[in-house]
Amino acid sequence: MSIFDELEGIHAEALQALETAASSAALDAWYTQYLGRKGAVTLQTRSIGKLSQEERPEFGKRINEIKQQLEAAYAAQSQALKAAELEAALMSDTIDITLPGRPVNPGHLHLTTQTLRQIYDIFGRMGFEVYEAPDVELETYNFDLLNIPDYHPARDMWDTFWIDQKQPAPDGRLLLRTHTSPGQMRVMRERYPEPIRVILPGKCYRYEQITARSEHQFYQVEGLAVGKHITMTDLIGTLTQFVNLFYGPGHKMRVRSSYFPFTEPSIEVDMDCILCGGAGCRVCKYTGWLEIAGAGMVHPVVLKNGGYDPDEWSGFAFGPGVERPAMMKYGISDIRLFYGNDLRFAQQF
């Protein structure tokens, strides 16, 4: 067989083999076999040496023609195969565009934050500005300046978390505030001699047993008004307005005499039970009333410590919680739920 015949034989064989290459892998193998660096067609170039000078150009030209033809056939086959494979993939992996998307869970404000904002809104409408005081407080602000000296038995009303300090700060010992009342002193000392109308929201901490009714951390919103002619009537009017805006109209409120070292006189504020309307039930322990805040007229000693002359100035203060009013409003029976991080609770509000 002449070298020319051999070349034509390979050509015919390659064309035939290409038709049976039914997958990308088979096609790759085919390419290596015929057109690769050691492929049958490529190797044919080596036979040129066996030919006479006259035959060589013709042979070279023919090899090139065959190569080009095979490359073109390969490209066409490869494209057809890819299209077929894609088609098959699309037919088997169907995408169901009617499947509904997964719901997005955007989250929302915690009930405590929502309640705080309701309270800001209500007092904001009455002209109270929000003032923030620190959680880590000096003993003097939390106690002494509020007319609760070290030896005073009233300190027992607030079981305290003390801050461990290697060296006590020059201004005295540090603690986690047990109530928001120390903020009163901070505002007074900053604002004197202006009249004051602020609320002081914040977290308070007490070294206490945790139960369904009490947490060792909770929010209070202190209120403080200082001016020239402020009376108990202003205090009661302000709180009545708060109760009606927070719980809805038509509620009754009453005050009882009480004791706090930093107010004189001191009162405890009650409202008619939100559940039974005053008839008596388990929530109000059959009294018909629920306690909502401690309050009173700012004690002259406290005014003086804040820089205000008690002969000229007077003021009122109140200190409701935040979680308990929310519990009453939304019928929540356990204060621990506020700090439990259970989404089933959080999502209800």
Rounded to the nearest 5°, which phi and psi values hold at 269?
A: -105, 130
**Residue 202 makes contact with ligand PHE by CB under 6 A:** no
**Residue 145 makes contact with ligand PHE by CB under 6 A:** no
Cβ 184 vs Cβ 284: under 8 Å:
no
Amino acid at 306: G
Cβ distance to ligand PHE smaller for residue 77 or 178: 178
- Chain-centre distance for alpha carbon 293: 30
Among 183, 261, 319, 325, binds ligand PHE (CB under 6 A): 319
- In the bound state, the residue with its beta carbon closest to ligand PHE is 319
Cβ distance to ligand PHE smaller for residue 179 or 186: 179
Among 317, 327, 332, 335, binds ligand PHE (CB under 6 A): 317
Is the alpha carbon torsion for 177, 179, 182, 188 positive or negative?
positive
Cβ 184 vs Cβ 298: under 8 Å:
yes
**Residue 296 makes contact with ligand PHE by CB under 6 A:** yes
Cβ distance to ligand PHE smaller for residue 192 or 259: 259
**Residue 123 makes contact with ligand PHE by CB under 6 A:** no
- Chain-centre distance for alpha carbon 7: 76
Tell me the DSSP string of 284-310. TTTSSEEEEEEEEEEPHHHHHHHT--T
**Residue 119 makes contact with ligand PHE by CB under 6 A:** no
Provide the minimum distance between the beta carbon of 341 and ligand PHE in the complex, in angstroms, as a whole number: 26
Cβ distance to ligand PHE smaller for residue 39 or 319: 319
**Residue 260 makes contact with ligand PHE by CB under 6 A:** yes
Cβ distance to ligand PHE smaller for residue 44 or 142: 142
Cβ distance to ligand PHE smaller for residue 21 or 221: 221
Helix or strand holding residue 259 (H, E): strand 253-260
Cβ distance to ligand PHE smaller for residue 59 or 318: 318
Provide the minimum distance between the beta carbon of 323 and ligand PHE in the complex, in angstroms, as a whole number: 13
Provide the minimum distance between the beta carbon of 346 and ligand PHE in the complex, in angstroms, as a whole number: 26
**Residue 181 makes contact with ligand PHE by CB under 6 A:** yes
Give the Å distances, CA to CA, from 15 to 32, 37, 348: 14, 18, 73
Among 39, 182, 201, 294, binds ligand PHE (CB under 6 A): 294
Q: Which residues have C-beta within 8 Å of that of residue 11, sequence separation ≥ 6?
A: 41, 66, 69, 70
Is the alpha carbon torsion for 286, 290, 295, 296 positive or negative?
negative
**Residue 197 makes contact with ligand PHE by CB under 6 A:** no
**Residue 179 makes contact with ligand PHE by CB under 6 A:** yes
User: Of residues 3-32, which lie at the interface with ligand PHE (CB under 6 A)?
Assistant: none
What is the b/e burial string over 19-32, where b = at least 16 CB atoms within 10 angstroms of the residue's CB? Answer: eebeeeeebeebbe
Cβ burial of 121 (10 Å; 0-12, 13-18, 19+) is exposed
Cβ distance to ligand PHE smaller for residue 187 or 317: 317
Cβ distance to ligand PHE smaller for residue 187 or 295: 295
**Residue 261 makes contact with ligand PHE by CB under 6 A:** no
Q: Which residues have C-beta within 8 Å of that of residue 31, sequence separation ≥ 6?
A: 39, 74
Q: How many residues bind ligand PHE (CB under 6 A)?
A: 11
Structure letter (DSSP) for residue 321: B
**Residue 185 makes contact with ligand PHE by CB under 6 A:** no
Cβ 158 vs Cβ 214: under 8 Å:
no
Q: Which residues bind ligand PHE (CB under 6 A)?
A: 179, 181, 222, 260, 263, 294-296, 317-319
